[in-house]
């Protein structure tokens, strides 16, 4: 895809130099080779376990804080004091939701659907488009809706998680109850305020901290299981099915609450590129799933033996002397969970920008070594405003939990449908097998969605409104860009014809190279025509520069640039990036020298078309959408800074267009 209202687009991540795998000087013979091989194996094992611990912190932060409220909300939705059979049935629903949705769908299936090592809704959409061999509007719509719903989830997660943890204060000491809301607001504001400083050093603590968290969950759960040993029966899915059959509509209502146990499952797939499928699977099967299951069993046993504890079930698992430290640990865990969602929102926004779904916004890199650590000011402060509003409006985690779930289930359905296409076409397993694998998952997804829709009047409309707003923004941007580019093409001159006519032109020639950024390399850029019309000059070398964003996360360096001469005076240069990469044109242009481009930054002028737009009810889109599109254009990051072009080498030529 290409984009370019200011004529241009997209960027390379620096390639890591391969380590020298040779023997040290003087190391020869079988013993030396064996030593080197042993060192290599040890290094790989160390890297694997480091990635596994890291994934516990980043990938499982959200789903790891679900025990704070999932069991409590599920039991409270019954509307009466639960019997032992009802507690066992609800616990079975919670545990088997983890097994079916997370383990089967994400761990065993989706972690295999990698797009050059990357995952996530937009990455899966790009993979499905590639598998179909054409641009498919329905697949694009699925990706857009899935991405838009994620933003609703990203705003609710910090609010409900941090508020749930802070509410533990009143359990530890009732006199602290007035400080719950202020503490929540301070934690959330501080979390977003420090994003611009980068999270690299703090993130190194996330993994070990969450390992301690999950071990604590397992320990507390195990300490209570013997309060009511019968809860072990919840491991049998028969009790989950029996509960739904016997309770009919009430069971359906409870099902919407049990879905809270799997919120955050999308992170397994979205963060695959950071850690790899192996460490993520190992962390889930070896630590996270057992810890969550044991904790839910322990909560169930406590609910049976002490029914009065249900409203504060999670924190009452801890002995009285340990409750305050446990509350502080829970707050730390929810900060980790919130950080993962915030970073995910940045990453998703960057992918959407590169794929042409949103305008280019400012991206700041907060680490010189970690390419994925970025900060996006506008996204950050909009999210903070949304989270603070939710906390102030709902004020309790129980009320916020009612708004949670619809956005997540919607995203999961989009992912399941896209995965079906990938399994059938990209994996070449055919539609019958793909449907056999995914239809049961889709049935589960739609069942959870139907149950969560019952929460609409209690706040469930909020993530839908947020997601709907993002869909409108993305749809408006896509439609507006297509209209602008279509109009430019209709009014343009083919580059080949223009180059031929210029060979006999009497226009004054000036020394040096002119680079014209455009999204359509086969046509003459409007900026070039304006320069010739108003200044009556042409450079001795004119390069039509286009940046393409491909439907893959990264592009290999040898495939980065393609230089082609059109005539003695004109040439085209295409620079290719993946949707996980950032633009760096000077670096790419230096690489283009190898293909015959005589590039010298100090002898090159970059011409960028700067368009202003005027709304019109009679042209293009509806008037309201015109104004929205123009507003999005104004939010776009400056093209010269986005492409990292030295400002002193840029010439901007403007024109006005009616949309």
Residues 6+ apart with CB under 8 A from 313: 71, 72, 75, 299, 302, 303
Q: Per-residue pLDDT for 35 more than 80? A: no
Q: Per-residue pLDDT for 79 more than 70? A: yes
Confidence at residue 8, expressed as pLDDT on a 0 to 100 scale = 43
Sign, Cα dihedral of 117, 123, 128, 134: negative
Task: Give the containing element (helix H, strand E) for 249.
Answer: helix 237-258
Confidence at residue 253, expressed as pLDDT on a 0 to 100 scale = 85
Report residue 44's pLDDT band, with 50, 70 and 90 as the boundaries: low
Structure tokens at 382: 């909009």
Q: Per-residue pLDDT for 638 more than 60? A: yes
Contact yes or no for 400/163 (Cβ under 8 A): yes
- Compute φ and ψ for 318, nearest 5 degrees: -80, 145
Does the structural domain 47-479 have CATH classification 1.20.1740.10? yes
CA 343/CA 357 separation, integer angstroms? 19
Task: Give the containing element (helix H, strand E) for 104.
Answer: none
**First-to-last C-alpha distance (Å) of the chain:** 22
Confidence at residue 200, expressed as pLDDT on a 0 to 100 scale = 62
**Alpha carbons within 13 A on the beta-carbon side of 114:** 17
CA 521/CA 227 separation, integer angstroms? 72
Which whole number is the average pLDDT over 232-258?
Answer: 89
Q: What is the 3-state secondary structure (H, E, C) of 218-241?
A: HHHHHHHHCCCHHHHHHHCHHHHH
CA 386/CA 192 separation, integer angstroms? 12
CA 216/CA 176 separation, integer angstroms? 24
Taking the CA atoms of the chain, what radius of gyration do you get in angstroms?
28
User: Model confidence over 485-539: pLDDT tens digits?
Assistant: 888 778 778 888 888 888 777 778 888 888 898 888 888 888 888 888 887 888 8
Which whole number is the average pLDDT over 325-343?
Answer: 85
Which whole number is the average pLDDT over 170-195?
Answer: 85
Q: Per-residue pLDDT for 368 more than 70? A: no
487-507: burial string, b at 16+ Cβ within 10 Å, e else: ebeeebeebeebbeebeeeee
User: Model confidence over 544-556: pLDDT tens digits?
Assistant: 998 888 877 788 8
Arithmetic mean of pLDDT over the chain: 81
CA distances from 639 to 93, 391, 635, 657, 658 (A): 51, 37, 12, 18, 21
pLDDT greater at residue 4 or residue 366: 366
pLDDT greater at residue 49 or residue 108: 108
H helices then E strands: how many in the chain?
26, 8
Q: Per-residue pLDDT for 172 more than 80? A: no
**Per mean pLDDT, which of 47-61, 199-213, 217-231 is the most reliable?**
217-231
Contact yes or no for 54/270 (Cβ under 8 A): no
CA 290/CA 645 separation, integer angstroms? 52
Confidence at residue 300, expressed as pLDDT on a 0 to 100 scale = 93
Could you tell me what percent of the chain has a pLDDT over 90?
15
Per 3-state DSSP, the chain is made up of helix, strand and coil in percentages (nearest 5) of 65, 10, 25
Which whole number is the average pLDDT over 458-483?
Answer: 86
Neighbours of 21 (CB within 10 A): 7
Confidence at residue 248, expressed as pLDDT on a 0 to 100 scale = 84
Confidence at residue 39, expressed as pLDDT on a 0 to 100 scale = 40
Confidence at residue 291, expressed as pLDDT on a 0 to 100 scale = 95
Report residue 216's pLDDT band, with 50, 70 and 90 as the boundaries: very high
Could you tell me what percent of the chain has a pLDDT over 70?
90
Q: Report residue 138 CA to chain centroid gap.
A: 20
Confidence at residue 45, expressed as pLDDT on a 0 to 100 scale = 61
Structure tokens at 19: 């380590």
CA 286/CA 319 separation, integer angstroms? 27
Report residue 384's pLDDT band, with 50, 70 and 90 as the boundaries: very high
Sign, Cα dihedral of 100, 101, 107, 111: positive
pLDDT greater at residue 19 or residue 118: 118
CA 337/CA 344 separation, integer angstroms? 11
Report residue 214's pLDDT band, with 50, 70 and 90 as the boundaries: very high
Confidence at residue 526, expressed as pLDDT on a 0 to 100 scale = 82
Query: Which of these, 244, 254, 290, 253, lies nearest to 102 by C-alpha position?
Result: 290
Confidence at residue 557, expressed as pLDDT on a 0 to 100 scale = 86
Confidence at residue 103, expressed as pLDDT on a 0 to 100 scale = 92
Confidence at residue 212, expressed as pLDDT on a 0 to 100 scale = 93
Residues 6+ apart with CB under 8 A from 574: 521, 546, 547, 548, 561, 562
Q: Report residue 63 CA to chain centroid gap.
A: 16
CA distances from 138 to 142, 255, 350, 418, 621 (A): 6, 30, 22, 10, 21
Where do the structural domains in the chain lie, given as residue ranges? 47-479, 493-658
Residues in the chain: 659
Contact yes or no for 577/602 (Cβ under 8 A): no
Structure tokens at 162: 């941090």
Query: Which of these, 560, 564, 557, lies nearest to 543 by C-alpha position?
Result: 564
Where would I find the beta strands (DSSP E) of 366-507? 374-375
Confidence at residue 433, expressed as pLDDT on a 0 to 100 scale = 92
pLDDT greater at residue 544 or residue 61: 544
- Sheet of strand 537-550: strand arrangement: 561-565, 570-578, 537-550, 508-517, 604-614, 650-658
Neighbours of 46 (CB within 10 A): 10
393-416: burial string, b at 16+ Cβ within 10 Å, e else: ebeebbebbbbbbbbbbbbbbbbb
Q: Per-residue pLDDT for 354 more than 60? A: yes
Question: What letter would DSSP give residue 544?
Answer: E
CA 374/CA 343 separation, integer angstroms? 8
> In this structure, are strands 364-365 and 374-375 parallel, antiparallel, or unpaired?
antiparallel
CA 85/CA 234 separation, integer angstroms? 9
Q: Per-residue pLDDT for 232 more than 90? A: yes
Confidence at residue 23, expressed as pLDDT on a 0 to 100 scale = 30
Tell me the sheet residues that pair with 606. 515, 650
DSSP calls for 319-330: -GGGHHHHHHHH
Query: Which of these, 49, 324, 61, lies nearest to 206 by C-alpha position?
Result: 61
- Compute φ and ψ for 587, nearest 5 degrees: -65, -40
Confidence at residue 36, expressed as pLDDT on a 0 to 100 scale = 38
């Amino acid at each position: 895809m290409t984009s370019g209202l200011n004529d241009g687009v997209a960027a390379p991540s620096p390639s890591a130099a391969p380590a020298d795998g040779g023997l040290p000087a003087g190391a020869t013979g079988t013993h030396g080779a064996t030593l080197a091989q042993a060192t290599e194996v040890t290094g790989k094992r160390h890297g694997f376990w480091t990635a596994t611990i890291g994934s516990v912190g980043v990938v499982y932060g959200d789903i790891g804080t679900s025990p704070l409220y999932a069991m409590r909300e599920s039991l409270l939705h019954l509307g009466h004091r639960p019997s032992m059979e009802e507690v066992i049935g609800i616990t079975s629903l919670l545990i088997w939701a983890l097994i079916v949705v997370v383990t089967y769908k994400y761990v065993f299936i989706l972690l295999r659907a990698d797009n050059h090592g990357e995952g996530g809704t937009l990455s899966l959409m790009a993979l499905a488009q590639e598998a179909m061999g054409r641009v498919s509007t329905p697949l694009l719509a699925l990706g857009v809706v899935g991405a838009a719903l994620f933003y609703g989830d990203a705003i609710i997660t910090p609010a409900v998680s941090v508020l749930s943890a802070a509410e533990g204060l009143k359990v530890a000491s009732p006199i602290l109850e007035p400080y719950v809301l202020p503490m929540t607001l301070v934690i959330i504001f501080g979390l977003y305020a420090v994003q611009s400083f980068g999270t690299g050093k703090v993130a190194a603590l996330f993994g070990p901290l969450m390992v301690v968290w999950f071990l604590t969950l397992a320990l507390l759960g195990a300490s209570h299981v013997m309060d009511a040993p019968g809860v072990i029966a919840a491991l049998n899915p028969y009790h989950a099915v029996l509960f739904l059959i016997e309770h009919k509509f009430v069971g359906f209502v409870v099902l919407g609450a049990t879905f809270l146990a799997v919120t955050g499952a999308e992170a397994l797939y979205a963060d695959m590129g950071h850690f790899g499928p192996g460490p993520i699977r190992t962390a889930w099967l070896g630590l996270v799933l057992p810890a969550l299951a044991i904790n839910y069993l322990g909560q169930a046993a406590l609910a049976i033996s002490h029914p009065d504890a249900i409203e504060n079930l999670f924190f009452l698992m801890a002995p009285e002397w340990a409750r305050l430290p446990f509350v502080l640990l829970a707050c730390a865990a929810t900060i980790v969970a919130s950080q993962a969602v915030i970073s995910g929102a940045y990453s998703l926004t960057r992918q959407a920008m590169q794929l042409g779904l949103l305008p280019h916004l400012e991206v700041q890199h907060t680490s010189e070594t970690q390419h994925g650590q970025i900060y996006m000011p506008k996204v950050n402060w909009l999210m903070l405003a949304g989270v603070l509003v939710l906390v102030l409006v709902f004020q309790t985690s129980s009320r916020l939990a009612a708004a949670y779930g619809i956005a997540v289930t919607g995203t999961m359905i989009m992912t399941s449908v896209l995965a079906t296409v990938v399994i059938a076409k990209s994996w070449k397993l055919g539609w019958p097998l793909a449907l056999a694998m995914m239809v049961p998952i889709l049935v589960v997804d739609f069942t959870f969605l139907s149950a969560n829709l019952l929460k609409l009047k209690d706040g469930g409309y909020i993530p839908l409104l947020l997601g709907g707003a993002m869909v409108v923004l993305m749809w408006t941007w896509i439609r507006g860009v297509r209209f602008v580019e279509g109009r430019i093409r209709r009014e343009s001159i083919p580059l080949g014809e223009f180059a031929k006519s210029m060979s006999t032109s009497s226009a004054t020639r000036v020394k040096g190279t002119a680079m014209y950024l455009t999204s359509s390399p086969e046509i003459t850029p409007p900026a070039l025509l304006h320069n010739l019309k108003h200044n009556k000059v042409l450079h001795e070398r004119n390069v039509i520069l286009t940046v393409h964003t491909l439907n893959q996360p990264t592009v290999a360096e040898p495939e980065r640039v393609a230089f082609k001469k059109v005539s003695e005076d004109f040439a085209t240069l295409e620079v290719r990036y993946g949707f996980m990469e950032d633009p760096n044109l000077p670096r790419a242009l230096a690489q283009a020298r190898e293909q015959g481009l005589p590039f010298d930054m100090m002898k090159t002028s970059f011409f960028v078309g700067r368009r202003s737009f005027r709304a019109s009810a009679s042209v293009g889109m509806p008037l309201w959408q015109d104004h929205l599109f123009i507003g999005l254009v104004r939010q776009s990051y400056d093209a010269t800074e986005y492409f990292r072009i030295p400002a002193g080498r840029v010439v901007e030529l403007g024109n006005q267009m009616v949309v």
